[in-house]
Amino acid sequence: MANNAHERVVVLDFGGQYAQLIARRVRDLGVYCEIKSYKTNPEELRDCKGILFTGGPNSVYAQDAPLCSKEVFELGIPVLGICYGAQVMAYLLGGTVSSSEVPEFGKTMTQFKSDSPLFQNVGESVCWMSHNDYISQLPEGFTASAWSAHCPAAAMENVERKLYATQFHPEVEHTQQGSEMFRNFLYNICGCAGDWEMKSFAQETIAAIRERVGDKKVLCGLSGGVDSSVLAAMLAKAIGKQLTCVFVNHGLLRKGEPEEVEEVFTKQFDVDFIHVHAEERYLELLRGVTDPEQKRRIIGTQFWKEFFAVAEDLAQDGRPVKYLAQGTIYPDIIESGARKTGGKASTIKSHHNLIPFPEGVHFDLIEPLDHFFKDEVRALGTALGLPDYIVHRQPFPGPGLAIRIIGDVDAEKLSILKNADAIVREELDAYNERLFAETGERNSEHAVWQYFAVLPDIKSVGVMGDERTYARPMILRAVESSDAMTADWARLPYDVLARISGRIVAEVPGVNRVVYDITSKPPATIEWE
């Protein structure tokens, strides 16, 4: 949502996975930021304080390589190019980009030019690299301002023209001093004052929704998760009884959650609430289906059918619905390679709330959270006055436990996974609460951000009660993260792991082994499927 009341910085998107991650780093520092296509006319950028270029999957020499207008560099506005964006800057201004003999991926020790405006108070440290190409010859007027073992121009700058570029990704948490680099760019180079905060976004968005909707009806797809809960709270404040929340119970939620969802949203919000019991329909549709993408599409398609049936009933009752509200957040969009990326990003997995409407069906969409990450949505929920037990609810995929069951889904497997997952959540909820009591921070250094159980499609031999067993293993997944774009496996204490394992094997029939996933994202995703 563009807001001319605030100073702004613009991110030009070249199709990189981290476009919105750059934007949120800017917002974290109190500066309003919006994302625009690399094709944006430079005249539309004249009133902004700074411009950032994203990374991208292309080579600058590729036939269809996304390239911005060279006029962007003539505006006199500071520019920071990142990864592919750095290569775009070099290429358009007369430098040379070449294939690396030794590509760099992951954490890389990097040195910095001490008097660079971009690297003030930044010393030798780890940066996150992800590139096959590199800038082999700098454009005229540029100097190298950072370097690594295999990248002689890990950063470059033309101070006079206020043009800066980094081959590494300062927006990724693994770049140890990335926030300081952004701070230097925004406040020292761009001259920003920092006049934006999440509370003002909430107020402005509520007003914008109220103005847009007028006296029309809105249907909100409610899962009970953080995103849809925050959305429902925002809509309730904006339009009250014009809102109908539809909770589709597909039977794939965690143990006890359907009951919690209904209790919370019938008591916390003064809105119409419809509980659709579709458990048996979903089990029948998923019978024999093993491919995770097919599961996602089946579940997503049925979601729409359930919504449309409710909308049709409301219309026949004299309450036609014009708008469909969804709690779509940016990681959903970027992982789907979806509509708002300009079609350049790769598809990692589909999300049920991003599957196109069937032919002949139309709602105007309301998606006020689609520029934000999970931790930002939590901050927004707090700003809206939601209680902590809603704001800090565990992230949960729309397709639910269906994608945490590897292979086909049936009632027996669902029961096994629900019971094991309940133990994981109980033990790690308690672990996080202990850390919160010690540190006063919800996302402290060793706090676990997401945690769950996964049921693989295999069995293994075990021994229980002096007898041979042939039963299922259970996979434990626990990660540390703040935005879901990158994540590291949680270094849980051995006693916590032992207690979880012991309880699952003892309390969940059909399980004789527990294993722990120690893979980061990337290369893995957080979810199993």
Q: What is the DSSP letter of 43?
A: G
Strands 125-137 and 96-112, by their bridges, are: antiparallel
- The position carrying tokens 């358009």 is 92
CB 423 within 8 A of CB 508: yes
Tokens of 468: 């041979």
Q: Among residues 171, 173, 257, 527, which one is catalytic?
A: 171
Tokens of 372: 């934000």
- End-to-end alpha-carbon separation of the chain, Å? 34
Cα–Cα separations (whole angstroms), residue 186 to 25, 73, 104, 277, 321: 11, 17, 27, 50, 43
> Rounded to an integer, what distance in angstroms lies between the CA atom of residue 25 and that of residue 22?
5
Tokens of 100: 């690396």
Active site residue 171: yes
* Helix, coil or strand: residue 282: helix
CB 486 within 8 A of CB 439: no
**Beta strands of 14-95 (E only): which ranges?**
32-37, 50-53, 79-82
> Rounded to an integer, what distance in angstroms lies between the CA atom of residue 21 and that of residue 30?
15
45-61: burial string, b at 16+ Cβ within 10 Å, e else: beebbbbbbbbbebebe
Q: Which helix (H) or strand (E) holds 236?
A: helix 226-239
Q: Among residues 48, 83, 192, 220, which one is catalytic?
A: 83
- The position carrying tokens 């060793």 is 446
Q: Among residues 169, 250, 351, 352, which one is catalytic?
A: 169
Strands 217-221 and 243-249, by their bridges, are: parallel
> Rounded to an integer, what distance in angstroms lies between the CA atom of residue 137 and that of residue 89?
12
Q: So which residues are the catalytic ones?
A: 83, 169, 171
